[in-house]
Amino acid sequence: MKRVFIHTFGCQMNVNDTMRMSEALASMQYAPTPAPESADLIILNTCSIREKAEDKMLSALGRYRQVKLQRGALIGVGGCVAQQEKNRILERVPYVDFVFGPDAIQKLPEIIQRVEADRVRVVETAWVDSEDYVFPRADPNTSRGKATEFITVMKGCDNVCAFCVVPHTRGREVSRPFGDILQEAASLTTVGVREVTLVGQNVNSYRGGVSFAQLLLRTAQVPGIERVRFTTSHPHDLSDELIEAFRVEPKIMGHFHLPVQSGSDEVLERMRRDYTVAEYLERLGKLREARPGIAVTTDIIVGFPGETDEDFEKTYQLTEQVRYAGQFSFIYSPRPKTAAAMREGEWGAVPHEVKIARLERLNALQKKLSVEFNAAQVGQTVEVLVEGASRTDPTRRFGRTSHNTTVNFDGDAPIGALARVAIGAASAASLSGRQVGIDSLPAVVIPDVAAAPEVCVA
């Protein structure tokens, strides 16, 4: 058996792609190792959403060069930077053996054979046309030991957000046929999975034979599936039908990640987001009416070209008004080929210190809101899907609430149990409590001793 180490950067799509890479490589007798220094093959599954992500990948590559020198390990670069930079990676980094885009994962065995047999460096970044694209089917064995798993339902993005590199790295939207998704959910239940998160760059524009709302409702009906989640959404696709699904199906969890990006209509227009703040709030109001108490989280970019102090104040006020349960806020980072990068000079770049100051203010506000959101759970008994031992204290258990909030608790519920936990304390990031009962157990016993990690997520 040879050993492969895969370093995963970026989003859940990449984490899923890494699992598919592991499966493709298993057919070549490559077993995963958590230790890069003992690997025969090192793959970096990269992200290019912000410049920082690219910098992280370059510094990781520098570290892995040693393994190449000492063991002759092969080094491959996959993911979004690979798709964007193609053979420029080979030109810049002489010790990289191959480069492959997200559409070439199934070709990995063939690529590696060519590198090994012909001693050539390979670049494989061709798109597969939407009509020809076949989503790789997950092997449920890869998910053994887990109570919750991700299912890819679509890839690519047809939006034209001015800041975003994704349309350039993941191409046009392609939806996976709904029957395949339901089959995958059913196969995951055979290893004990009880919660699935449907993932794609823009899931609610899903068109795989049924609407996205229908897909959620049908997934919730798969025997053995107790919880359904999804990510990530664009506000302009938040349909009444999807909101209605939240009203009628309690297995759809009470969390909605709805990236707003900015609280200023002028900035939203330059971002080409296709909605106004008023429209966003109207959708959110309907959602909250359908599912009272739902946790709403968001993404925000500060320092988008031309963002004034007044624009930023509007973002700050929107955050206060919505009272998000959590948010990911980012400093704007110009990305190659995007409209905003090309027009930054015209719209006006925001100085770095101003961006930092805005980010810090927003983060401080969000921290306060997150604490308040979580503190409201103290004294309540909530349902938690148990995922294993607590990471901070292995004598305690760990899982998530319907709101997707992390809970560490005293108890003995096995992985996959739906436990009732009385919440005693809250912080901005998590809840703490004690088990007061178990509502149900998974159909199969999930061993608590986690297998060797399949992927290394950084």
359 binds ligand SF4 (CB under 6 A): no
Task: Provide the residue type at 142 as one letter.
Answer: T
123 binds ligand SF4 (CB under 6 A): no
Q: What is d(CA 415, CA 191) in angstroms, rounded to the nearest whole number?
A: 12
Q: 300: part of which helix (H) or strand (E)?
A: strand 295-302
Q: Which does 47 bind (CB under 5 to 8 A by kind): ligand SF4, ligand 5AD, none?
A: ligand SF4
- Nearer to ligand SF4 by Cβ, of 73 and 199: the residue is 199
Q: Which does 261 bind (CB under 5 to 8 A by kind): ligand SF4, ligand 5AD, none?
A: ligand 5AD
Q: Which does 169 bind (CB under 5 to 8 A by kind): ligand SF4, ligand 5AD, none?
A: ligand SF4
Strands (E), 248-293: 255-257
259 binds ligand 5AD (CB under 6 A): yes
Piece in contact with ligand SF4 (CB under 6 A), picked from 165-173, 174-182, 235-243, 359-367: 165-173
Q: 440: part of which helix (H) or strand (E)?
A: strand 430-440
Q: Please pick, from the candidates 261, 264, 327, 390, the single residue that binds ligand 5AD as defined by CB under 6 A.
A: 261
Q: Please pick, from the candidates 4, 6, 11, 243, the single residue that binds ligand SF4 as defined by CB under 6 A.
A: 11
**Cβ contacts of 269 within 8 Å, gap of 6 or more:** none
152 binds ligand SF4 (CB under 6 A): no
257 binds ligand SF4 (CB under 6 A): no
402 binds ligand 5AD (CB under 6 A): no
Closest distance of CB 13 from ligand SF4, Å: 5
Closest distance of CB 80 from ligand SF4, Å: 3
Q: What is d(CA 454, CA 148) in angstroms, rounded to the nearest whole number?
A: 15
- Nearer to ligand SF4 by Cβ, of 142 and 169: the residue is 169
80 binds ligand SF4 (CB under 6 A): yes
- DSSP string across 100-153: E-GGGGGGHHHHHHHHHHH---EEE-PPPPGGG--PPPPPGGGGTT-SEEEEE-
47 binds ligand 5AD (CB under 6 A): no
CB atoms within 10 A of CB 180: 16
Q: Which of residues 41-60 bind ligand SF4 (CB under 6 A)?
A: 47-49
- Nearer to ligand 5AD by Cβ, of 163 and 373: the residue is 163
| The residue to which tokens 């800041």 are assigned | 163
| The residue to which tokens 């524009």 are assigned | 205
Q: Please pick, from the candidates 164, 174, 386, 407, the single residue that binds ligand 5AD as defined by CB under 6 A.
A: 164
Q: What is d(CA 154, CA 408) in angstroms, rounded to the nearest whole number?
A: 33
* Edge-first strand listing for the sheet containing 227-231: 148-152, 195-199, 227-231
- Nearer to ligand 5AD by Cβ, of 142 and 232: the residue is 232
Q: Which does 189 bind (CB under 5 to 8 A by kind): ligand SF4, ligand 5AD, none?
A: none
Q: Which residues are paired to 6 by β-bridges? A: 43
How many binding residues for ligand 5AD (CB under 6 A)?
A: 12
Q: Please pick, from the candidates 99, 153, 162, 166, the single residue that binds ligand SF4 as defined by CB under 6 A.
A: 166
Cα–Cα nearest to 176, from 225, 210, 227: 210
Cα–Cα nearest to 258, from 232, 278, 292: 232
Token readout for 291 is: 């599912």
- How far is C-alpha 325 from the geometric centre of its chain's CA atoms? 18
Q: Please pick, from the candidates 104, 301, 318, 362, the single residue that binds ligand 5AD as defined by CB under 6 A.
A: 301
Q: Which does 50 bind (CB under 5 to 8 A by kind): ligand 5AD, ligand SF4, none?
A: ligand 5AD
Q: What is d(CA 246, CA 240) in angstroms, rounded to the nearest whole number?
A: 10
320 binds ligand 5AD (CB under 6 A): no
- Nearer to ligand SF4 by Cβ, of 5 and 330: the residue is 330
CB atoms within 10 A of CB 347: 15
Closest distance of CB 10 from ligand 5AD, Å: 9
Token readout for 17 is: 């792609």
- How far is C-alpha 270 from the geometric centre of its chain's CA atoms? 26
Q: Which does 388 bind (CB under 5 to 8 A by kind): ligand SF4, ligand 5AD, none?
A: none
Cα–Cα nearest to 22, from 4, 37, 36: 4
Closest distance of CB 166 from ligand 5AD, Å: 8
HEC profile for 51-68?
HHHHHHHHHHHHHHHHHH
Closest distance of CB 169 from ligand 5AD, Å: 11
Q: Which residues bind ligand SF4 (CB under 6 A)?
A: 10-11, 13-14, 47-49, 79-80, 165-166, 169-170
Q: Which residues bind ligand 5AD (CB under 6 A)?
A: 49-50, 163-164, 259, 261, 299, 301, 330, 332-333, 335
